[in-house]
Chain A
């Protein structure tokens, strides 16, 4: 078994990721990047935000450093911390500092999940100063022109307690993502999962049915990502109803009645 191990700043994307633009997001991202403006990606889960970031990293030929934020993520997790090695203290850079050093793209996924103090650390980096204060070292890290900061958040399901603060959101150029139109989604599913057009059409129709249930017992409808998962299973020879049950229905809910209803929907469709 071969496992490749990379330092985050070496994570260059060499093969073009499959991404179909739904609007002018590529042009906007490039313009923002050239003008050293940070970006905010909004949109529901699984609609292609992360894929878009990979695509842009490939296009701009910069390393992509992704941090998935969680509610215990602190400022030192991003900036860096002292570790003890053999009786000595050693400073180790966090992913954000590494990205600044390497002139990479730092992508903070689901930023609102992080603790409030984390947000403040990125503020000086996100305006025209473009510096990262390394408080514990007593230094300032000045970002070069290649560095880019991008954050994402899903306005749909987070609680009111976890909204993005105005002082944060007003520093970013926002790009809104949504599920692609039906025709485009069909193309994506057909290409990513290698299923025929008729099957892709049915999968997209099924996704629409689950999206109709949003707010009616489901928090979110099926994302494009889930459709691709189901499509891959179908392409591998699994019956469509079974594939949808495993890859989509079970991923959406644990409620037995809702599961039964979603499975009835897929059984009706295929």
Chain B
């Protein structure tokens, strides 16, 4: 057990007491009564948080001992990580609010609560809610439970109940109720306008929410009886109050299968002066403003999109018909009784009164429109004219990556990647701001000169790579096969005459060796490659491409460079689906040294690209000239550990990483990152063009 002095010394060290005004003496009495395990837990997390921010660590250390008495360590960890994520995104003040928020956590929590965490349950709840039908919804974290009709917002922790299973159930029921709001037309009512007339619109909204919840419960009872039983069980478990006596008639009205949100709205007027029961344990808030904004944008977008899709469908149908020049077919929508649907009807698309089966995206679009409007209005059935095909009218525009620094906010149009924080022992979420850019092609004499200089080598490489191609080999002396191996048969018959045992390996079989490889080359474009390293890299890549063309493997080449986490850049030299031609050659020629070597994001992005490529074997080859290194924070252990982590992720995804480096110090750190055999050091830069293709051949044959 550590003594008080040892705890104090460790805290002093972690919290940098010499440079801050933090007084670790105040913390020691808080920690001393804890068990050894708990002390180590708090000290470890304080250290991990301090690697991000000392003040958050300090506040954590102050509150953790008390919190440990009430919460499971797992929940406490989630709380600390959440605070650090908030710090990464929004800075110190909001993060300190999260840390202080533990008090409200504890007020609400039972003793030793085993809460359910959003991160743990969202993987199950997302497919759950998407299976339920209707619009494809998203899940996200927020302070309260509500929906804007596209995303369901949930708190990061549910801890009202004692067991983890029950808290998961609470999450699930809350999700289902939000889903029901989008599915059963809660937002088809003009809530803002209708409730604004009351003396206290907030009270009217709460009343509407309560009534609407009762209606949706009845809908769920009809559609999903199993879920409804769980809702009842949860209410009983939390000992919820009886319904107000005055509500009897209203409830009967709302529980009828024909009840709609309009009925609930009408009841608000009648019951406004009566009692307002407390909200259900799983009931969220209604945020009519968020819904209205989201809906207005969506209705606009989907109307345009539907009309464009309709025009495309008509076009396709026209091409298929016998007389393509005949009159254009007239689209229509037919209503059909359908007891499966909430309103007892469904809609089908028709062309000249004949029903057609629309493709899946159009079906989803129709579903979403009907959820918003209850029908497909006539003006939607006007196919978009040729002038309206501008996709910017209905699609979100991918912003120009070059406009990054001009924009109001420099993270628009980028992809975000997590980064492993070695000190925190956890990921920094969405930390790297990654963009793909094209290498500017340079049409100079480089390609011709290189091919002339290495002409003999190119020929040799092509020959040796061609030998690796798919080929059919005739396997002899097989136990089964397509044909008889006459040599083997003659031998066997002779053996049999001699009285020896006859072999059963008498067949030949055609065996096809299929190469099914996708490889991504990740080329270091950091400033340190400027000069002859860069030349050697470009030459090596060009020779490699020539050789790979003979082989037929799918390959991509990307350069990487970066300057701080906000500017991680990947330079496209050749995509997987791009043919090798003059454009690619000119881009290879155009590879130039840029800034620093931040590596994690590049590995993560290329892993993802490799994953999307169809192949049996996926390889990621890094051409590098040194350790990962970036301006300010990516030095030393941090950079190496993040790179290592990214490589582990790649390996888990079934990708084989390999590194070719010219850094003679490589053996010091590469085995830690790539594993003891997955790298090659080339001690002479000039040999790079000769070696790279050769290494690739050995690697894949």
Contact = CB atoms under 8 A, between A and B. Distances in A.
Contacts of A82: 483-484
Contacts of B172: 264
B132 A212 contact: yes
B131 A210 contact: yes
Given A81-B482, A82-B483, A270-B225, A265 B128 contact: yes
Contacts of B482: 74-76, 81
A268 interface: yes
Contacts of B483: 76, 81-82, 136
Contacts of A74: 482, 510
Contacts of B133: 208-209, 212
Nearest to B132: A209
A257 B168 CA distance: 13
B176 interface: yes
A265 B131 CA distance: 7
Given A212-B132, A260-B124, A261-B131, 8 more contacts: A160-B614, A209-B133, A212-B131, A241-B226, A261-B128, A264-B124, A265-B131, A266-B226
A150 to B, nearest CB: 24
24 contacts: A76-B482, A76-B483, A81-B482, A82-B483, A84-B489, A89-B489, A115-B512, A136-B483, A205-B340, A208-B133, A209-B132, A212-B131, A213-B131, A216-B127, A217-B127, A218-B127, A257-B127, A261-B124, A262-B127, A265-B132, A267-B230, A268-B176, A268-B226, A270-B225
Nearest to A210: B131
B227 A268 contact: yes
A67 interface: no
B493 interface: yes
Contacts, number: 75
B496 interface: yes
Interface string A112-126: 000100000000000
A87 B496 contact: yes
Given A74-B482, A269-B225, A258 B127 contact: yes
A229 B78 CA distance: 42
B293 interface: no
A256 to B, nearest CB: 9
Given A268-B224, A269-B225, A87 B130 contact: no
A201 to B, nearest CB: 9
A270 B228 CA distance: 10
Contacts of A217: 127
Contacts of B96: none
Interface in A108-154: 115, 136
Top 7 nearest A-B pairs (CB, nearest first) are A268-B227, A261-B127, A257-B123, A209-B131, A268-B224, A76-B482, A261-B128
A115 B472 CA distance: 12
A213 B130 contact: yes
Nearest to B173: A268
A206 to B, nearest CB: 9
A201 B327 CA distance: 42
Contacts of B127: 213, 216-218, 257-258, 261-262
Interface in A53-78: 74-76
A87 B510 CA distance: 23
A142 B125 CA distance: 59
A161 interface: yes
Interface of A: 74-76, 81-82, 84, 87, 89, 115, 136, 159-161, 182, 205, 208-210, 212-213, 216-218, 241, 257-258, 260-262, 264-270
Counting chain A CB atoms within 10 Å of each CB, which of B130, B176, B484, B496 scores highest? B130
Nearest to A161: B614
Nearest to A75: B482
B492 to A, nearest CB: 8
Contact of B484 (A87, A89, A262): A89
Label chain B's interface by main secondary structure.
Answer: helix
A232 to B, nearest CB: 21
B619 interface: no
Nearest to B357: A178
A213 B133 CA distance: 9
B189 to A, nearest CB: 26
A156 to B, nearest CB: 11
A268 B176 CA distance: 10
B556 to A, nearest CB: 17
Counting chain B CB atoms within 10 Å of each CB, which of A89, A212, A218 scores highest? A212
B506 interface: yes
Contacts of A269: 224-227
Contacts of A209: 131-133
A45 to B, nearest CB: 18
Interface residues of B, number: 29
A159 B124 contact: no
A34 B336 CA distance: 39
Interface of B: 123-128, 130-133, 136, 172, 176, 224-227, 230, 340, 482-484, 489, 493, 496, 506, 510, 512, 614
Contacts of B340: 182, 205
Nearest to B127: A261
A115 B511 CA distance: 11
Contacts of A89: 484, 489
B131 A257 contact: no
A194 to B, nearest CB: 23
A212 B614 CA distance: 25
Nearest to B123: A257
A258 to B, nearest CB: 6
B230 to A, nearest CB: 8
A61 B172 CA distance: 54
Contacts of A261: 124-128, 131
Counting chain A CB atoms within 10 Å of each CB, which of B130, B131, B489, B506 scores highest? B131
A38 B61 CA distance: 77
Given A209-B131, A260-B124, A84 B512 contact: no
Nearest to A264: B128
A74 B127 CA distance: 41
A266 B409 CA distance: 45
A256 B87 CA distance: 32
Nearest to B175: A264
B216 to A, nearest CB: 14
Nearest to A221: B131
A7 B80 CA distance: 70
A259 to B, nearest CB: 9
B226 A84 contact: no
Given A261-B125, A261-B128, A270 B226 contact: yes
Contacts of B493: 87
A82 B124 CA distance: 55
Contacts of B227: 267-269
Contacts of B484: 82, 84, 89
Contacts of A205: 340
B130 A212 contact: yes
Nearest to A202: B225
Contacts of A87: 493, 496
Contacts of B124: 257, 260-261, 264
B506 A84 contact: yes
Nearest to A208: B133
A161 B470 CA distance: 15
A207 B279 CA distance: 34
B572 to A, nearest CB: 22
A254 B270 CA distance: 52
Contacts of B496: 87
Nearest to A215: B360
Counting chain B CB atoms within 10 Å of each CB, which of A208, A260, A264, A270 scores highest? A264
Nearest to A204: B340
B574 to A, nearest CB: 20
A167 to B, nearest CB: 20
A257 B482 CA distance: 45
